[in-house]
Amino acid sequence: MSVVLFISPHPDDEVLGCGGTIFKHKQNGDTILWLVVSTGYTCDGFSKESVESMEKQVDSVRKFVGFSSFKRLKFPSAKLDNVPMADIVSEINDFINRHKPDTIYVNYRGDAHTDHKIVFDSVWSCCKSFRNPFVRNVYVYEVVSESNYHNPLNSIPFSPNTYQDISLFLDLKIEAFCLYGSELGQHPNPRSVDSIKALAKLRGSESGLVYAEAFMCVKQVV
pLDDT of residue 45: 86
pLDDT of residue 166: 98
| Domain spanning 3-220: CATH superfamily | LmbE-like (3.40.50.10320)
The whole-model pTM stands at 0.96
pLDDT tens-digit readout, 119-149: 999 999 999 999 999 999 999 999 998 998 8
Mapped onto helix, strand or coil, the DSSP state of residue 4 is: strand
Start-to-end CA distance of the chain, whole Å, equals: 15
The residue extents of the domains of the chain are 3-220
Residues near 95 by Cβ (< 8 Å), separated by ≥ 6?
5, 33, 35, 71
pLDDT of residue 150: 84
pLDDT of residue 148: 87
pLDDT tens-digit readout, 62-98: 999 999 999 999 999 999 999 999 999 999 999 999 9
pLDDT tens-digit readout, 174-214: 999 999 998 888 999 989 999 999 999 999 999 999 999 99
Q: Are 133 and 127 in contact (CB under 8 A)?
A: no
* Residue 140 burial by Cβ neighbours in a 10 Å radius (0-12, 13-18, 19+): buried
For residue 69, the surrounding DSSP H or E stretch is: strand 69-76
Measured CA to CA, the distance from residue 23 to residue 84 in angstroms comes to 34
pLDDT of residue 50: 94
